[in-house]
């Protein structure tokens, strides 16, 4: 464990911006911790150092459009105010439903997906990756769905490999049964067994290449986003362990919605929240002393729109410092002024109550 602050890794995402070799950046964590805002800001920062950046939302909720206040679709769209930042929103399950055609092959594949859970999402994701790779973006940022969905997404290469193996074993064991089944679904020979197997086998190279890239720390990294609370800490630990199991690099944690101790906090509720947060912040630093941990402040308003995202982005590079330090002359003057204002309001309210009682 690091013995002092000097030995701790840099408290920013600068390391991600400086790693020119990165091709895939996943951003994930528990629902409601600010993944989309973080993904959007990472995209904004990367657009300043890379030739072209694509942000892909794989979360069915699709908050990317809300973050930039611009409508995105399943095709890459240039983000307003940028010349090299693009965004798209995909939903593998919906994509699959939309792709059903009259040739019946997709009907057969959807039946196959019942036998191999997750293969429909995996195939849609593989198709999307194949398309993205032809577009030649410098780096791709994934704004992922909450943790459970994300872990399933990262399993897709092995899911497809299992699916291919299962279909091949079915073919060898049952011979012409697959052909009979495809005829039963009203599928012509050219769209039958050979086409289905061809579609799966055609993805094998993509699967193997993506699997190799995802496990290469020079090409892929995963950034965990969380808030300083128990459930989020627990979810982050689960995520980090699962990523290690999948051999996917992760060495950055963004802790969002932090109430900073030095700030002028007079509210009892906020003080209590601050103490609670500090307990979990200490645990984060203890568990992840070799990670780059970036702390972001809790704001009184949402960060929405390109300009607001650009404005907030400097906190990702330079550790946040509250404008007023507790105990300074300026901070004490501000507190005295605030207390005088509160006293004035309380006196006015007391006068109102007294007048009300006199009328009765």
| Average of per-residue pLDDT across 159-167 | 69
Helix (H) or strand (E) holding 167: helix 156-174
**At which residue do the structure tokens 């973050």 appear?**
67
Buried b (16+ CB within 10 A) or exposed e, 286-302: eebeebbbbbbebeeee
Identify which of 321, 311, 226 has the alpha carbon closest to the alpha carbon of residue 40: 311
CA 353 to chain centre: 52
Per DSSP, the residues of 258-306 read E--TTS----HHHHHHHHHHHHHHHHHHHHTTTSEEEEEE--SS---SH
Please give the average per-residue pLDDT across 39-68, as a whole number. Answer: 90
Q: Is the pLDDT of residue 260 over 50?
A: yes
Q: Can you tell me whether residue 174 is helix, strand or coil?
A: helix
Return the number of other C-beta atoms located less than 10 Å from residue 223's C-beta.
24
Between the two ends of the chain, the Cα-to-Cα distance in Å is 69
**104-118, 243-257, 320-334 — which is least confidently predicted?**
104-118
pLDDT, position 30: 86
The residue extents of the domains of the chain are: 13-103+120-157+210-324, 327-359
Query: Is 50 exceeded by the pLDDT of residue 98?
Result: no
Query: According to the model, what pLDDT value does residue 187 have?
Result: 52
Is 30 known to sit in a ligand binding site?
A: yes
The residues annotated with a catalytic role in the active site are 59
List the one residue out of 115, 114, 97 whose CA is nearest residue 106. 97
73 is in an annotated binding site: no
The model's confidence at residue 96, banded by pLDDT at 50, 70 and 90, is very low
118 among the known binding-site residues? no
Q: Is 202 annotated as a binding residue?
A: no
10 Å CB burial of residue 262 (0-12, 13-18, 19+) is middle
34 is in an annotated binding site: yes
Residue of 325 and 267 predicted with greater confidence = 267
Q: What is the pLDDT of residue 1?
A: 47
Tokens of 241: 């362990």
Task: Give every CB contact of residue 39 below 8 A, 6+ residues apart in sequence.
Answer: 27, 55, 57, 64, 141, 142, 143
When mean pLDDT is compared across 61-70, 139-148, 185-194, 260-269, the lowest value belongs to 185-194
Tell the burial category of 321 from Cβ atoms under 10 Å away from its Cβ (0-12, 13-18, 19+).
Answer: exposed
Q: Name the class of domain 13-103+120-157+210-324.
A: alpha beta
Q: What is the DSSP letter of 5?
A: G
pLDDT (average), residues 3-10: 63
- Per-residue pLDDT, 52: 95
Average confidence score pLDDT of the chain: 79
Please say if the pLDDT value at position 69 is more than 80. Answer: yes
* Residue 49 confidence (pLDDT): 96
pLDDT at residue 268, rounded to an integer: 84
Please report the pLDDT score of residue 341 as a whole number: 82
Q: Please report, rounded to a whole number, the percentage of residues in the chain having pLDDT higher than 70.
A: 66
CA distance 14 to 313: 11
- pLDDT reported for residue 135: 77
pLDDT value, residue 149: 64
Most confidently modeled of 120-134, 208-222, 269-283? 269-283
């Amino acid at each position: 464990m690091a013995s002092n602050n000097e030995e701790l890794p840099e408290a920013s995402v600068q390391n991600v911006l400086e790693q020119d070799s990165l091709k895939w950046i996943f951003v994930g964590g528990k629902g409601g911790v600010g993944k989309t805002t973080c993904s959007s800001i990472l995209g904004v920062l990367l657009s300043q150092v890379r030739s072209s950046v694509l942000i892909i939302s794989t979360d069915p909720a699709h908050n990317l459009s809300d973050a930039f206040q611009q409508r995105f679709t399943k095709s890459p769209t240039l983000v307003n105010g940028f010349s090299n930042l693009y965004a798209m929103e995909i939903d593998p399950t919906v994509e699959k439903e939309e792709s059903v055609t009259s040739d019946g092959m997709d009907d057969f594949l959807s039946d196959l997906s019942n036998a191999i859970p997750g293969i429909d999402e995996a195939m849609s994701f593989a198709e999307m990756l194949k398309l993205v790779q032809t577009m030649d973006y410098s780096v791709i940022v994934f704004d992922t769905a909450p943790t459970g969905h994300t872990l399933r997404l990262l399993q897709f290469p092995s899911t497809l490999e299992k699916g291919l193996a299962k279909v091949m074993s079915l073919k060898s064991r049952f011979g012409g049964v697959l052909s009979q089944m495809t005829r039963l679904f009203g599928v012509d020979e050219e769209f039958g067994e050979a086409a289905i197997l061809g579609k799966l086998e055609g993805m094998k190279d993509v699967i193997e290449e993506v699997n190799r890239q995802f496990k290469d720390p020079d090409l892929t990294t995963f950034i965990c986003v969380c808030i300083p609370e128990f459930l989020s800490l627990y979810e982050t630990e689960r995520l980090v362990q699962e990523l290690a199991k999948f051999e996917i690099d992760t060495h950055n944690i963004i802790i969002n919605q932090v109430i900073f101790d030095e700030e002028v906090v007079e509210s009892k509720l906020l003080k209590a929240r601050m103490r609670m947060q500090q307990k979990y912040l200490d645990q984060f630093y203890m568990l992840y002393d070799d990670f780059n941990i970036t702390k972001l402040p809790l704001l009184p308003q949402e960060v929405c729109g390109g300009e607001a995202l650009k404005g907030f982005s400097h906190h990702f590079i330079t550790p946040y410092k509250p404008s007023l330090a507790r105990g300074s002359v300026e901070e004490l003057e501000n507190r005295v002024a605030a207390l005088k204002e509160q006293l004035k309001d309380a006196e006015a309210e007391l006068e109102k109550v007294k007048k009300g009682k006199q009328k009765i």
